[in-house]
Amino acid sequence: MRIPAFLLLPLVLWIVAACSSGNQGQSEPRTEVDAILQGLSLEQKIGQMAQLNIEVFINRQDGKLTHPIRLDTAKLVEAIQKRGIGSIMNTAGQAMELEDWHYITETIEYVQEQGGKIPIIYAIDAVHGTNYVAGSTLFPHQLGMAATWNDSLVRRMGEVTALESRAAGIPWIFSPILDVARQPLWVQFFETFGEDSYLAQRMGTAITLGYQESEWPVAACAKHFVGYGFPFTGKDRTPVQIGERALRELHVPAFEASIHQGLRSIMIGSNEFDGVPMLASEYWVNEVLRKEIGFDGVLLSDWADVAHLSDWHRVAKDTLEATRMAIEAGLDMAMIPNDYSFCDDLLRLVKDSMISESRIDASVRRILQLKWEMGLFDEINRPKMDAFATKENSDEAYEAAVEGITLLKNESDILPIDPAERIFVTGPTAHSLVHLNGAWSRTWQGADTVIGKEGRPSVLEAMRASNPDLIYLEGSSVEEVGDLDRVRSEAKVASVIVLCLGETPATEKPGDRRDLTISDAQLALANAVLDLGKPVVVVLLQDRPQIVASIADRCAAVVMGYRPGNEGGRALADLLFGKRNFSGRLPFTYPSSVNDLMTYDHKFAETIGPDWGPTGFQPQWEFGYGLSYTRFEYEGLSLNKMAYSIDDTIQVSMHVKNVGGRDGNEVVQVYVRDEIASITPSVKRLRDFKKIGLQAGEEEEMHFSIPVRALAFVGLDNAWTTEPGWFTLKVGDLEERFEVID
């Protein structure tokens, strides 16, 4: 990429150094960025703070995309050369081929070189892989990745996604989601790392490092600061109704952990907290995120959220006032996304002295720094095309699916299934790549069958590879009952029934639901096959824990598949047939009823049932739960001492042995309970974990180091504190008590 002439003098020394050592992903002293900033007019600075939708520039014929895709260069000239727009985002309604992405990014680059002063940074949602690039590797969604409890797999997902995004010419991705999902009715539950703050911190930092520290790094944009994953009603973009203490203790830490690993950008949530939209909250954005935590990266709004301060939230009388509120709160860049209204309003605010130009400079400086760190002022390089969508990348996605898929029930060891048995497969998700991948899979909602053209096997097809004679009938769709008499007739001859259930893919507002119960049509199908008295293996491909209590007790086995991605069919078949062993563990509490949505780290008062006994917490399956084809036993739990000061580290050890007949992976989970505290303590909190592989009969001594300060909670003054007193540490079915002293 040719650097504009006015930048050559301040950049020359940096370019010499970059050519000798490689500059992509490396920061440059702030003085160089300031030199660029000083060369911009006010209008150009404001342009840098605007992000437009690629649809603004795409030519269509009769409302349809042309092939190949073509951009309106006159509109690009207006945006880039005249307005100085800083970023373009999104896709043309569906995934595009690499060639189309190269045409788009290279055309934008060319127009910028002809008269735009600053490179454009292109951004895209990359939710479980580079999902808007046709043919890219699709991993399990984040919930399924969390179920692996394997940091290294999560980091590898980030590395593959970064490489394949850069192959398309995209250096900025809207991922990861660091919301802690405490409300399973919420539609984006599957896009998170689950309900636990510590698990979200571990997985979030792993994927952030994968994105930003790989050979071909992208800038990560974590979503959605803050509390977005706990809407009171379960509806997307609605109020969070919890206290500040809980928000700080449970929802902020995942963002803070990734910030400490160099997170480059954050998207502000569309939710409100205590009556204040997060985008307009000077307290949460400026005071907490900027000053307390020290985040100095780029802050981006979500889709049209500045305007929504006026038309949705009703805290601003018009877009001018909405823009002022967002900028004063700390916003750097607005996803407008389809016009120049934000730019016009912001220019007026500065000229009317309602916003200072120095405030504009602060945001533009951060945006320029981001572009510099991503190497956009230098020649743009891409990975070789033979590194895109390789078999190695697919194998990584397969391993992630295998390690995440979770066995929840296996009565009488009905699994694994002998491939030679007479197998009947039914259910709406059995023969569908759509249900394996879910939303954000080539299209926004993911319901388009285009994903089925990519040559990956469904669950049915993968099972048929081992048993060509198995019998299949769909039985029902997600919402409509099929010919159940025929299902019963065909199933009668089978020795085992595999019933694949789930929910229709959806995300954001279109996916709002009012009920967690699995659909009536699927329950009718389930009861039809369960009434036959044959062993039924239920496979769940879904975005969240749907209520299955009415059938769970009657099933022989239950498998939680999450949204395991393009390799999920192969992974599920190999697990069901015993070619691979289950090792996934739930990253959330699976409820047994629609109104009993308690998390694992609930309070002691919540354990009290109607009989005044400890019967209040009765989930279908607990957080961290999962079965295997082998068994593990724990013994010899010990701590290095029984009393610790605040600056000590608790040294934990125990032995874990594989006492079953198969090799397997175990997730060793360490929980701590604060017995008495000034804030009502949880019954337990996850404090550490490790995933290990043990051969049949093998034993390993495990060691954990937990700083006493890691047991802190947010107190009445909204500050972190670790109080003296007694604690109980629990690993498996073993417990040890210890004391923290002054």
**Which sequence positions are flagged as catalytic?**
302
**DSSP one-letter code for 289:** I
Contact 391, 570 (CB under 8 A): no
Polymer length of the chain: 742
Please list, in sequence order, all residues whose beta carbon lies within 8 angstroms of the beta carbon of residue 735, skipping any fewer than 6 positions away.
Answer: 637, 728, 729
**DSSP one-letter code for 307:** H
Phi, psi of 97 (to 5 degrees): -70, 160
Amino acid at the residue 311 = D
Burial class of residue 61, CB neighbours in 10 A (0-12, 13-18, 19+): exposed
Verify cis geometry, omega within 30 degrees of 0, for the bond prior to 416: yes
**Which tokens hold the place of 450?**
């285009």
Sign of the C-alpha dihedral, residues 340, 345, 348, 350? negative
Contact 375, 23 (CB under 8 A): yes
Q: What's the CA gap between 384 and 166, in Å, rounded?
A: 10
Sign of the C-alpha dihedral, residues 108, 174, 511, 403? positive
Phi, psi of 732 (to 5 degrees): 60, -130
Closest to 734 in 3D by CA, of 664, 669, 647: 669
**DSSP one-letter code for 412:** G
**DSSP one-letter code for 179:** -
What is the SS3 string spanning 673-691?
A: EECCCCCCCECCEEEEEEE
**DSSP one-letter code for 6:** G
Closest to 289 in 3D by CA, of 322, 350, 247: 247
Phi, psi of 539 (to 5 degrees): -115, 125
